Amino acid sequence: MMETWVDVPEGSGFGIQNLPYGVFSRRGEPPRVGVAIGDQVLDLAGLAAAGLLADRRWFAAETLNVFMSAGRPAWEATRDRLTALLTDSEHRDRVEPHLVPLSEVKLHLPFEVADYVDFYSSRDHATNVGRIFRPDAAALPPNWLHLPIGYHGRSGTVVPSGTPIVRPRGQRRTEDGPVFGPSLKLDIEAEVGFVVGVPSELGRPVPTTGFRDHVFGFVLVNDWSARDIQAWEYQPLGPFLGKSFATSISPWVVPLAALESARTAPPAQDPQPLPYLRCDEPWGLDLTLEVELNGHVVSRPPFATMYWTAPQQLAHATVNGAALRTGDLMASGTVSGPERGQRGCLIELTWDGREPLELPNGRRAYLEDGDTVRIRATASGPGGVPIGFGEVAGAVLPALH
């Protein structure tokens, strides 16, 4: 098994097999690109300035976008070079000065988000929400088994992990008609998203086979949701203000190469998708998510159960000729499994508040002011080594008046 000369704590998830990219800064210094290794971050801008990496412009930037747009050959060459620098002790004296403890840095939004799309790809989640929102109709809409349903969100409200979330205000329905005020059903959605590196040409769809050539890596996503605002507004055009106020993402982007060992066959799709959605490779990902509310784990959703895969989502998002841009973020939708303890949002976990969670600090139907949510994920790497995604976290602040 590949070993690094860097001291990596056991089970850290940030071993040599991972090497996730992010953007960090030290006090008084501008942001720059780095890679997590153990409990440190490797300063790639510093390495490039020292002549140890190829192109300083990729890493001295304040986002990953320049590097992501360089394309797959650049990603692969950089990963190979970093692996060599961190495994061959001959390089240690020159590389070690560019390692910075994570405790000494601030982590930023890793890339500038171009467009944001959120899908609805868990059959268990879609079925549960359908039963809650439409108890007198079929749980799944008739198109759900034929295409990856999604909606366009707001790229300007995608925020880095740790950003406080102000409780949104809007219209909600009551027995006496619509009223305006703070959401009373603030929720989370535990998701996994991928980010586009290489753009595509307007009018030219990207097939499922083009996934590796366009997609840079994966992040964790929390798509905060105001369920009462959403329930009143979502017909006939879908989510709007109930979703657009904030979406949090993790600071580390896990590259596709780090997830090869986590690939698995997705659930069988019946009926068979139309030809443009068929994928010859198994692109399910065996990730385990963990949702923590105020320090207590309330759910462990399994990502391997997702019905629609990331290459299918990308193919569907572009089949009409829509162009990809560097920094496009596409999220999976809530990750939920068949068991109650595998549901990735509170509307499912509490069945819209009818079955509240019993926590040491009180019962919860939905989020209250002051609550903190943390979502983590781990995949299995080569030889069972954990591949960590870090976490995406946020605390709820009271609504503004």
Active centre residues (catalytic): 125
For residue 228, the SS3 value is: helix
Residue for token digits 């809530």? 334
Q: Is 399 helix (H, G, I), strand (E, B) or coil?
A: coil
Number of other residues whose CB lies within 10 A of the CB of residue 379: 26
Q: Which of 58, 335, 90, 84 is nearest to 216 (CA)?
A: 58
**How far apart, in whole angstroms, are the C-alpha atoms of residue 126 and residue 120?**
7
Report the run of H or E that residue 93 belongs to, with start and end.
Answer: helix 92-95
Q: What distance in Å separates the CA atoms of residue 306 and residue 284, rounded to the nearest whole number? A: 7
Q: Smallest Cα–Cα separation from 211: which of 283, 159, 139, 149? A: 283
Degrees to nearest 5, angle at CA 339 with 247 and 380? 65
| Encoded tokens for 59 | 């890493």
Kindly report the backbone phi and psi dihedral angles of residue 172, in degrees, each rounded to the nearest multiple of 5, phi listed first: -140, 155
The amino acid present at 288, given as its one-letter code, is: T
**Tokens of residue 121, six digits:** 């790809």
Please check whether residue 67 is in contact with residue 74, taking contact to mean a CB–CB distance below 8 angstroms. Answer: yes
User: What residues contact residue 355 under an 8 Å CB cut-off, 6+ apart?
Assistant: 349
Tokens found for residue 146:
């034929």
